[in-house]
Amino acid sequence: MQTRAIFCFKRLCFHLLLSCMIFFFGKVNSQTTIPCDDAFYLITSSTGGSVLQKLNHDRINNQVNAKTIDLSEPRRRITCLGYSVNDQLLYALDFDTYELLQIDGLGKIKNLGIPPNLDTRMQYFAGHVAAQGRTLVVIGRDPATQTDKIIFTIGLRAPYLASSQALISDLPVALTDLATHPFLGVVYCFDSKAKRFGTIVNGLVSTHRYPTVPEYITSLYLDRNGNLYGYGNLVGDSGAETHFAIDRQNGKMVALGLGIQGKDSDGCSCPYSLDFDMKIIPSEVLPCSEITIEYTFFNQTGANWQDLVFRDSLPAGITITAIEKNSANLSTVQGGIGSSLFRLINMNLILESNTIRLKAWVDELPPGKYSAQAVLKNLPKLYGNPLVSDNLLTAEPRDSAFFTVIEPKSLKLNSKLRFSCNGDTAFVEAPLEALSYQWSDGSTGKTLVTTRSGRYSLLAKTACLDYTDTIEIAQRPPALNLEIEAPARLESGDRSILRYTSNAQGVGTLTWSASTGLNLSCSDCAQPELNALSSGSLYLTLRNAQGCAVRDSVQIEVIPVRKVFIPNVFSPNSDQHNDVFFIQGRDGGQILRWRIKDRWGNVVFEKKDVAINDAAQGWDGMVRGQALSAGTFFYEVEVEFPDGEKQRFRGEVKLVR
């Protein structure tokens, strides 16, 4: 008995020890993934090793905030950094040993060995992970000529084989980094020899469309909006310490601030996203009617995807009648027309927008809410595998699309009544799609059109029900009216808030306009401010929610004031008070000629065609760079007022020191 107890105790201890070992080594070997959150990752390296930073661009203040991630092997010189959407980890090469490295979110480095077939006689500076996350693409440089010669594509699954293709360029290039645009799929690069940006397509480097820049860029990365950023130097041909925002159209750069200094750097980001929306319209239907189901894919992953599987199983009683649009037209359709199942296999998803649109028939279903949600499979886990559709018509994330089958009695003709703009004609539209319409006046169209008051009824027949309702058309709406509320007379330069009155039920748009000399603060607001400089007409056009328009106008008489203020003393002593002698006026205007003389008749200041109230055009008491002594000076000025009237003024001004 004692022996058995000892055996059980030992077995318990063994299992506890084994569990602890599994837990411990599981923790040791686990990796922390890196979220695809539009952040940038930057490696700066020197002879002493490398530093990894996570960068976030503060777009409000237009600056970059950095957080250092401690590397488990900081002595390595790391190059060709890239982000993989497959496992959400960073990949890179060791510049000195050519080993393929895997880096997790805590900076832990895993050595994957030297990729078979990688040419270790080359040097590698530029690289990135391709948009589908399956390969690390690196550019091989001949150390003797310092010219890039070859492209290696390294698989990111064991045995990490490297395959090669020639790098093609009209001129010798030395690329520093690569970055893929999320929705164009274009690979951008920087050539350190020509100091130009460029693009790479199928191994062909093209830099001719970009001008030479004084800056030197060692790292490139993009955000989810397709904006290009870089890290490098303001001047010179080496080193990295400055963050840049880059115009990818013309290569012009704006410095965003300084970072960690390094002999070299490499950067990457995850600017990718994939949205999958679904909507069903109309949202309310009767039994035995048609709906439209639309799926939209916004592919901003930088790559086209193949061999995907799409599936949507519609509620029982919903039958697909037509495939109106299918951007993935090379896919194989399973189910489809005549079925409630729509499935695509071997589906291709191209960059940017992809749409599938179905027509479906709603059978004689009981009233209630019916929902569906589609799925997309065989994507990297980052995007969701499966990725489920999101209802485009709601604010809730990743919710099902739905429609509601309603009872016929909930549809009322009263809600469909409208009148012509002059009020003499009534229009009543049937609130449902039907096979036939029979109005009590004998008309058989979907919309009743009548100029007579009275009671009207409708019988509409669908495939499975008869709809009836009655409407009384009695009181006609009054004619649309509008009146501008504005003062009839103002002094030149006066300001006034304009208003209007109208019997419009629901205003669609307002459009204000005015003659020259009547200046409005806005043209489409309810209460613009008027700045009256000369007489003229004021106009307002109102268009109601139904689209009917009405117009009003008023005449505004503006009484010219023509007043100016010319100081008789000024003190140019740099105390920010009365330092400049200039002409002022409430109404503005133009100074045609202005001359100032000293007591002996010498001209000390002269200006032509300058604006009233512009202190920058005034006299600061200087002549030819020399400050004049205190004294009395004499001016002659000719002013043209806003209404075209011209006046001359003469007088004296004292300069006080």
Mean pLDDT of the 355-368 span:
95
Answer yes or no: is 6 within a domain.
no
Looking at the fold, whether 132 and 258 belong to one and the same domain comes out as yes
Answer yes or no: is 13 within a domain.
no
pLDDT tens profile 237-280: 667 788 999 999 899 999 888 887 778 889 999 999 999 999 99
Residue 357: phi, psi to the nearest 5? -130, 125
Report how far residue 342's alpha carbon sits from residue 324's, in angstroms, rounded to the nearest whole number: 13
Q: What is the pLDDT of residue 356?
A: 95
Looking at the fold, whether 277 and 368 belong to one and the same domain comes out as yes
Quick one: DSSP state of residue 581? B
Cα-based angle 72, 221, 38 (whole degrees, multiple of 5): 80
Q: What is the pLDDT of residue 11?
A: 38
Looking at the fold, whether 172 and 317 belong to one and the same domain comes out as no
Looking at the fold, whether 603 and 509 belong to one and the same domain comes out as no
Q: What is the pLDDT of residue 587?
A: 65
Looking at the fold, whether 93 and 229 belong to one and the same domain comes out as yes
Looking at the fold, whether 123 and 49 belong to one and the same domain comes out as yes
Percentage above 90 pLDDT, the chain:
70
Q: What is the pTM of this model?
A: 0.65
Q: Of the residues 244, 269, 294, which one is the last residue of a structural domain?
A: 269
Number of helices (H) and strands (E) in the chain: give both, helices first: 1, 55
What's the CATH number where 167 sits?
Answer: 2.120.10.30
Q: Residue length, the chain? A: 657
Report how far residue 489's alpha carbon sits from residue 499's, in angstroms, rounded to the nearest whole number: 16
What's the CATH number where 536 sits?
Answer: 2.60.40.10
Top pLDDT among 3 and 466 is at 466
Answer yes or no: is 21 within a domain.
no
Q: What is the pLDDT of residue 643?
A: 72
pLDDT over 90 (residue 561): no
Answer yes or no: is 34 within a domain.
no
Answer yes or no: is 15 within a domain.
no
Tell which residue, 561, 573, 558, 498, has the closest CA to residue 528.
498
Looking at the fold, whether 358 and 494 belong to one and the same domain comes out as no
* Continuous segment of H or E residues that includes residue 26: helix 2-29
Top pLDDT among 597 and 545 is at 597
What's the CATH number where 581 sits?
Answer: 2.60.40
Provide the mean pLDDT of the chain. 90
The CA-based dihedral angle spanning residues 97, 100, 103, 109, taken in that order and rounded to the nearest 10 degrees: -50
pLDDT tens profile 384-437: 889 999 998 898 889 999 999 999 888 999 999 999 888 889 999 999 888 899
Asked which of 15-29, 335-349, 473-487 is least confident by mean pLDDT, the reply is 15-29
Answer yes or no: is 20 within a domain.
no
Q: Of the residues 222, 250, 269, which one is the last residue of a structural domain?
A: 269
Residue appearing with tokens 């000529």: 145
Q: What is the pLDDT of residue 257?
A: 84
Looking at the fold, whether 340 and 396 belong to one and the same domain comes out as yes
pLDDT tens profile 568-609: 999 998 888 899 999 998 767 899 999 999 999 999 999 999
pLDDT tens profile 70-124: 999 999 999 999 999 999 999 999 999 999 999 999 999 999 999 999 999 999 9
Containing domain of residue 156, as a range?
A: 40-269
Residue appearing with tokens 């948009």: 131
Asked which of 327-331, 463-467, 578-582 is least confident by mean pLDDT, the reply is 327-331
Looking at the fold, whether 305 and 170 belong to one and the same domain comes out as no
Answer yes or no: is 93 within a domain.
yes
Looking at the fold, whether 106 and 241 belong to one and the same domain comes out as yes
Q: What is the pLDDT of residue 32?
A: 92
Answer yes or no: is 486 within a domain.
yes
Looking at the fold, whether 595 and 629 belong to one and the same domain comes out as yes
Q: Of the residues 350, 372, 405, which one is the last residue of a structural domain?
A: 405
Looking at the fold, whether 297 and 437 belong to one and the same domain comes out as no
What is the domain count for the chain?
A: 5
